[in-house]
Amino acid sequence: MRRAPLARACAEAQSVWLGSRESAGRAVAETGVRPASRRLRGGAFAMPGMVLFGRRWAIASDDLVFPGLFELFLRVLWWIGILTLYVRHRRQLDCAGGVLLSTYLIVLIILLAVIICTVSAIVGVSMRGTICNPGPRKSMSKLLYVRLALFLPEMAWASLGAAWIADSVQCDRIVVNGIIATVVVSWIIIVSTAVIVYIVFDPLGGKVAPHSSAGPSLPDGHEPSQLLTGLRTAATSVWEARIKLLCCCVGKDDRTRVAFSSTAELLSTCFSDTDLVPSDIAAGLSLLHQQQDSIRDNEEPKEVISHPPGSSQEADLDAELENCRHFMQFAAAAYGWPLYIYRNPFTGLCKVGGDCCRRRTTEYDVAGGEQLHCHFGSILHTTGLQHRDFIHISFHDQVYELPFIVALDHRTESVVVAVRGTMSLQDILTDLSAESETLDLECDVQDRLAHKGISQAARYVYRRLVGDGILSQAFSTAPEYRLVVVGHSLGGGAAALLAFMLRSSYPHVRCYAFSPPRGLLSKSLHEYSKDFAVSLVLGKDVIPRLSVTNLEDLKRRILRVIAHCHKPKYEILLRGCWYELFGGSPASLPTELEGGAHPDLTQPLLGEQSLLTRSSPLPSPTKYPPLYPPGRIIHLEEEGTSRRCSCYTSQYTARWAHESEFSKILIGPKMLTDHMPDILMRALDSVVSDRAVCVSCPAPGGLDADGRLAPL
């Protein structure tokens, strides 16, 4: 019953498409002009997604090299083993039922030989051409039909073998065991193939969208728009079904259903307008990384503006770095015991293990904690505070509802609110609810748009802090303290929006956002937040560069580099893996098209446009406008060439950065590891230690000699 809306959406999209095809056919008959087809050199259609049985699949004809070689390796070993078994033990088959077993082995040897030849041909054909030139692989569909047809006798023979073995044939035990192994291997391969077919099945494979620039131009513009609307609705329904299956244990309340719909719409928007399969994206990312490194190696050295040690900019940077190192401990503590044990794999469990089994005491009640379990001990060890310093600890985790802690930091004379980052499926749904909504703020800023999911999460924490009297309790205990809001990743974004909401009641609130998402604030709010917020970004961290508009830019760059590459996909992936693991010269790798060798593909957007299924990158610019990170940005850059293994100690330099430096997603081995809070803490400790020239000298806005937070 749940698939009914999806089926209706697909049927509507299909009917609109059929109608548009009929209209196009009538136009051809009346005018005699046939629409331009989407052809590249060799007369092949630029359709990376393979078409079998009249529908598109989430696999391309050049994706079968590595799976084919793996199957070929297994089949050849299997064939040699069966042949050896038959040759060495055929004289021992003169037993009851031996004729059946002998016939089984002979037919299996012949069948395996035919399958090996077919798979070899599939591998050979799959190595031909390029991603955007599948012409040399046009015979692939016929070979796959033959290969799939061979599964029928293989299944039948495996079933007969199982039946004969079940009849307790009285023959040599070695022969019987060999045939049992053969039957088991046969069924393993058959079941594995069925699983792979299920994985690469595309629910929207039967729907084909008209192409804006390189494809057929339909006479009526209204019908293509209806088709695209139907396709988008069907794609959203498919993604929503997938998300519900993945997050089946999250819950079914109204907030969760809204998050499902928002996430499905975002994913369908990002991935339903290209004709790429997952391996194409992997190849494109590999090429982009090499191209990015090649540009970096060839560009002129940047002019470095040095400031004397006593300059105001350097003093301000030193002060904020010291603040970041101190408050990052609270942002890390908000993750609870999982991060603590991850950071201390040998001693962490011993230190917090007693708190996991200890019964709740009045100390826990004073902290206001619910369901703390092992968390409280890890928080104490991470922050170095005492239990009486905590006003509230909450690890309640739902969609749009984040865990947070409130503590009194006597060292800086601050009330610290730390919001946890992404740790659960509920948090991921909050991250992916990427529409924009207007913040209700008491400020003069006109454009007050922000990330919807993070805004909802910040509003939940605000209601708890103000509505439940948590902040009132904290400031009644320490009325002279100031308010500081911190968080990492999702928690950093929520902390920044929370600071906006609290600013009317607490004008001196300060925010430290560690690795916050880029797609958070409108340009006006970004500029406004520079008065009270600081963001810290490490290296090539992808999250501070991640937004819907940046994803669209990344997609266009992937399409461009794929269309301009003249190498087959398997070679791109092999060289890409070698480059990621061991490095090399990016100039020797296929990062752009050699126009002299292929003059018919030198148009810069020919292949790129052929891979798009619609011209507009975003269906609703008002829903996904450009968004920016919060506050002033400190960027910790790795010195020298980036190492490919995060186990080595890297050296970093710190500087103030502009938000435009994070307007593109950078590809590299550390784009994910640089986001990890433990790596960020190590880098921050290293930078602060290296920059510590005069520890006893107070700096404006930083920690003075007594460890207090100096005024701005």
- Asked if residue 712 has pLDDT above 60, the reply is no
Alpha carbon 531 to its chain's center: 32
Q: What is the pLDDT of residue 205?
A: 67
- Report, as an integer, the average pLDDT of 537-563: 91
Encode pLDDT of 231-263 as tens digits. Answer: 667 777 777 777 777 777 777 777 788 877 887
Could you confirm whether 588 is annotated as catalytic?
no
Residue 587 CA to residue 623 CA, distance in Å, equals 40
- Report, as an integer, the average pLDDT of 513-526: 94
Q: What is the pLDDT of residue 414?
A: 96
Residue 483 CA to residue 98 CA, distance in Å, equals 86
Q: What is the pLDDT of residue 24?
A: 40
- Asked if residue 92 has pLDDT above 80, the reply is no
Residue 615 CA to residue 432 CA, distance in Å, equals 24
Alpha helix ranges (H) inside 32-166: 65-89, 98-126, 140-166
Judge if pTM exceeds 0.85. Answer: no
608 burial level (CB within 10 Å; 0-12, 13-18, 19+): buried
- Asked if residue 35 has pLDDT above 90, the reply is no
Q: What is the pLDDT of residue 249?
A: 73
Angle 169-173-178 from CA coordinates, rounded to 5°: 90
**Helices and strands of the chain, counted as H and E runs:** 23, 12
Higher pLDDT, 245 or 108: 108
- Report, as an integer, the average pLDDT of 680-707: 68
Identify the three-state secondary structure at position 45. strand
**Pick from 110, 106, 86, 100: which is nearest to 170 by CA?**
100
Quick count: other Cβ atoms within 10 Å of Cβ 329? 18
- Report, as an integer, the average pLDDT of 460-465: 95
Q: Is 263 in contact with 430 (CB distance < 8 Å)? A: no
User: Which range has highest mean pLDDT (69-83, 147-161, 186-200, 223-237)?
Assistant: 69-83
Confidence of residue 410 (pLDDT cuts 50, 70, 90): very high
Structure tokens at 454: 């993070």
Q: Which residue among the candidates 541, 547, 610, 650 is catalytic per the annotation?
A: 541
Structure tokens at 63: 């994706």
Q: What is the pLDDT of residue 590?
A: 54
CB proximity list for 502: less than 8 A, separation 6 or greater:
462, 465, 466, 471, 483, 485, 509
Lowest mean pLDDT among 95-109, 493-507, 674-688: 95-109
Tokens 């004709």 sit on residue? 275
313: enclosing H helix or E strand: helix 312-333
Higher pLDDT, 70 or 176: 70
Q: Is 69 in contact with 630 (CB distance < 8 Å)? A: no
User: Which range has highest mean pLDDT (270-274, 378-382, 514-518)?
Assistant: 514-518
Encode pLDDT of 51-84 as tens digits. Answer: 888 888 888 899 999 999 999 999 999 899 888 8
Confidence of residue 295 (pLDDT cuts 50, 70, 90): confident
Encode pLDDT of 306-330 as tens digits. Answer: 555 556 788 889 999 999 999 999 9
Residue 15 CA to residue 297 CA, distance in Å, equals 52
Could you confirm whether 275 is annotated as catalytic?
no
Quick count: other Cβ atoms within 10 Å of Cβ 304? 6
Identify the three-state secondary structure at position 430. helix
Q: Which residue among the candidates 186, 455, 489, 650 is catalytic per the annotation?
A: 489
CA distances from 106 to 9, 79, 179 (A): 51, 11, 12
- Asked if residue 209 has pLDDT above 50, the reply is no
- Asked if residue 620 has pLDDT above 70, the reply is no
DSSP state string for 394-417:
E---BTTB--EEEEEETTTTEEEE
Direct distance between the N- and C-terminal alpha carbons of the chain, in angstroms, rounded to an integer: 61
CA distances from 220 to 9, 267, 558 (A): 21, 29, 31
Encode pLDDT of 490-504 as tens digits. Answer: 999 999 999 999 999
- Asked if residue 509 has pLDDT above 90, the reply is yes
Average pLDDT of the chain is 78
- Report, as an integer, the average pLDDT of 524-528: 94
